């Protein structure tokens, strides 16, 4: 099949009160019963009414996340490897009592649709394993995929846990989980994994998947780590389809799901106004690499290394973005050329504003260093951003609206990596439509003329 219709469901999970007390086994289904009904309805609708072939649901969508290691353990079951070739819905007791897997399998089978969900896997261990936790079990944040016959075809253990996930264990080894379908090759990983070479880059570059399934519980942190801009940029730069399903929880700034192709954003959803979930669907090319529209590889530093830095009499100043200290320079006029450097990275900007408002301040920033807060990962960033207020000390702080308009821009940098994710965020946290900008093969992010 050349194309497929996919669905992504942003689910507004109701979190239980902080679950610190153990519950009896017979009460296990209760916490996820409501959540399951929502997922069931969304998946049935996408299959029956919209002819989708696959639905992706978010990380933590069934259980929420306010658990200790002990309290979540009762909800976890052993999830076998897909190699056992298990149609759970038909052979329900083969691996013991597994009600959640059974329901997901039957949902997939009865509606002839691939179902992607995030649950938990529990694996007993003993003292012969020196890394076995004291309570005698490993607990993994786990994605599962059931095919349209209800067969378990993928099981992925989240490799890079986010810091507060104290209820889960890190897998010892990374595994790249992929599976073939009539509509292309798929890979899967979860949330924080996207920052890591393993598994995110490996599954794309070495396993050559066509599409990535991506359940997340992602809280947005402007200016650079908001779900929709970052995930769509990742799909563009990695040149794969990305099906990103986010949990919806506005109090934790969790919203932003989408279906992203290498050449274009197909559909996205961002809603900080309501507490409702959202189902979205789109058609995708099954094998984007074979398409004439497949974007060429970008040499991200080619242009920036070929030009001389723009000289300026203005002073640089420091500013923080998500705990990283950038070097900034203020954009003083309606038009201009600026260069700002930090360590080995120099960022060049050429721009023209149609009318620069006096109460809005913009700055060009550079960062070249190791981020060390919720994880350790090395970044090189070039960014033009609006400062929160006219005080330069607020440059890098989150801001929601802008009235100054850019007519022309060209941003580039002397990057020492081929993994660069280009983002444009407009007033109201909206994405810029692709017709307004382009990424050139020499690494310039440029307005379209």
Partner 1 sequence: RTPLPVLVLALYGRVFDKDPPRLGQGPRRFE
Instruction: From the candidates 89, 106, 191, 387, give the one annotated as an active-site residue.
Output: 191
Please tell me whether residue 307 binds partner 1 under the rule CB under 8 A: no
Closest by CA to 419, choosing from 311, 297, 308, 321, is 297
Evaluate whether 164 touches 373 at the Cβ level (below 8 Å). Answer: no
Please tell me whether residue 436 binds partner 1 under the rule CB under 8 A: yes
Site for partner 1, residues 330 to 349, rule: CB under 8 A: 345, 347
Report in angstroms how near the CB of residue 18 gets to partner 1 at its nearest. Answer: 16
Please tell me whether residue 165 binds partner 1 under the rule CB under 8 A: yes
**Element containing residue 56 per DSSP (H, E):** strand 54-56
Site for partner 1, residues 105 to 124, rule: CB under 8 A: none
Report in angstroms how near the CB of residue 279 gets to partner 1 at its nearest. Answer: 28
Evaluate whether 381 touches 411 at the Cβ level (below 8 Å). Answer: no
- Pairwise CA distance, residues 425 & 428, whole Å: 8
Instruction: From the candidates 109, 122, 158, 285, give the one annotated as an active-site residue.
Output: 158
Report in angstroms how near the CB of residue 420 gets to partner 1 at its nearest. Answer: 4
Member of 222, 280, 281, 331 binding partner 1 (CB under 8 A): 222
Closest by CA to 123, choosing from 134, 138, 136, is 138
Report in angstroms how near the CB of residue 322 gets to partner 1 at its nearest. Answer: 11
- Pairwise CA distance, residues 103 & 378, whole Å: 41
191 is catalytic: yes
Please tell me whether residue 163 binds partner 1 under the rule CB under 8 A: yes
Q: Residue 52 or residue 216: which is nearer to partner 1 going by CB?
A: 216
Q: Residue 181 or residue 404: which is nearer to partner 1 going by CB?
A: 404
DSSP structure class, residue 358: T
Member of 28, 125, 341, 402 binding partner 1 (CB under 8 A): 402
Q: Residue 127 or residue 370: which is nearer to partner 1 going by CB?
A: 370
Report in angstroms how near the CB of residue 397 gets to partner 1 at its nearest. Answer: 12
Site for partner 1, residues 224 to 243, rule: CB under 8 A: 224, 229-230, 233
**Element containing residue 44 per DSSP (H, E):** helix 30-44
Neighbours of 66 (CB within 10 A): 16
Please tell me whether residue 384 binds partner 1 under the rule CB under 8 A: yes
Please tell me whether residue 403 binds partner 1 under the rule CB under 8 A: yes
In the structure encoding, which two tokens stand for residue 185, read together? Answer: 């090759």
Which residues, at least 6 apart from 271, have a Cβ–Cβ distance to it below 8 Å?
A: 10, 248, 250, 255, 278
Question: Would you mind telling me the total number of residues written for the chain in this entry?
Answer: 449
The count of residues interacting with partner 1 (CB under 8 A) is 73
Member of 34, 48, 416, 441 binding partner 1 (CB under 8 A): 416
Cα 439 to the chain's mean position, in Å?
Answer: 21
Report in angstroms how near the CB of residue 368 gets to partner 1 at its nearest. Answer: 8
Member of 29, 48, 375, 391 binding partner 1 (CB under 8 A): 375
- Pairwise CA distance, residues 131 & 220, whole Å: 34
Q: Residue 143 or residue 147: which is nearer to partner 1 going by CB?
A: 143
Member of 132, 201, 307, 440 binding partner 1 (CB under 8 A): 201
Cα 125 to the chain's mean position, in Å?
Answer: 32
Evaluate whether 210 touches 2 at the Cβ level (below 8 Å). Answer: no
59 is catalytic: yes
Please tell me whether residue 413 binds partner 1 under the rule CB under 8 A: yes
Which residues, at least 6 apart from 30, have a Cβ–Cβ distance to it below 8 Å?
A: 23
Report in angstroms how near the CB of residue 162 gets to partner 1 at its nearest. Answer: 7
Evaluate whether 69 touches 166 at the Cβ level (below 8 Å). Answer: yes
Q: Residue 12 or residue 382: which is nearer to partner 1 going by CB?
A: 382
In the structure encoding, which two tokens stand for residue 449, read together? Answer: 């003329």
In the structure encoding, which two tokens stand for residue 112, read together? Answer: 């002839």
Site for partner 1, residues 241 to 280, rule: CB under 8 A: none
Site for partner 1, residues 66 to 105, rule: CB under 8 A: none
Catalytic residues: 59, 158, 191
């Amino acid at each position: 099949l050349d194309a497929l219709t996919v669905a992504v469901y942003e689910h507004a999970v109701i979190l239980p009160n902080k679950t610190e007390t153990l519950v009896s086994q017979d009460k296990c289904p209760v916490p996820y019963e409501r959540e399951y009904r929502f997922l069931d309805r969304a998946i049935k609708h996408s299959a029956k009414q919209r002819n989708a072939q696959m639905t992706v649901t978010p990380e933590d969508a069934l259980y929420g996340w306010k658990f200790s290691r002990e309290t979540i353990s009762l909800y976890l079951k052993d999830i076998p490897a897909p190699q056992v070739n298990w149609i759970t819905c038909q052979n329900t007791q083969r691996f013991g009592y597994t009600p959640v897997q059974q329901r997901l399998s039957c949902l997939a089978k009865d509606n002839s649709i691939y179902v992607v969900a995030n649950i938990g896997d529990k694996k007993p261990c003993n003292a012969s394993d020196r890394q076995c936790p004291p309570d005698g079990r490993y607990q993994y944040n786990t994605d599962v995929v059931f095919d349209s016959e209800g067969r378990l075809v993928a099981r992925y253990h989240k490799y890079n846990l986010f810091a507060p996930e104290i209820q889960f264990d890190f897998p010892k080894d990374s595994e790249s989980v992929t599976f073939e379908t009539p509509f292309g090759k798929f890979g899967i990983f979860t949330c924080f994994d996207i920052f890591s070479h393993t598994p995110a880059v490996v599954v794309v570059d070495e396993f050559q998947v066509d599409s990535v399934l991506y359940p997340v519980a992602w809280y947005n942190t402007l200016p650079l780590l908001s779900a929709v801009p970052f995930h769509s940029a990742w799909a563009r730069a990695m040149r794969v389809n990305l099906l990103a399903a986010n949990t919806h929880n506005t109090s934790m700034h969790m919203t932003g799901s989408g279906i992203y192709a290498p050449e274009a954003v197909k559909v996205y959803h961002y809603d900080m106004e309501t507490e409702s979930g959202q189902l979205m669907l789109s058609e995708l090319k099954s094998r984007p690499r074979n398409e004439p529209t497949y974007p060429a590889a970008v040499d991200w530093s080619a242009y920036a290394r070929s030009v001389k830095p723009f000289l300026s009499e203005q002073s640089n100043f420091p500013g923080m973005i998500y705990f990283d200290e950038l070097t900034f320079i203020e954009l003083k006029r309606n038009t201009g050329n600026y260069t700002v450097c930090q360590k080995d990275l120099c960022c060049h900007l050429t721009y023209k504003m149609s009318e620069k408002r006096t109460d809005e301040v913009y700055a060009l920033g550079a960062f070249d260093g190791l981020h060390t807060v919720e994880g350790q990962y090395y970044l090189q960033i070039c960014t033009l951003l609006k400062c929160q207020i006219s005080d330069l000390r607020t440059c890098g702080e989150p801001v929601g609206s802008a009235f100054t308009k850019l007519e022309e821009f060209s941003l580039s940098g002397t990057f020492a990596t081929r993994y660069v994710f280009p983002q444009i965020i407009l007033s109201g946290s909206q994405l810029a439509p692709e017709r307004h900008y382009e990424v050139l093969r020499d690494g310039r992010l440029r307005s379209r003329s």
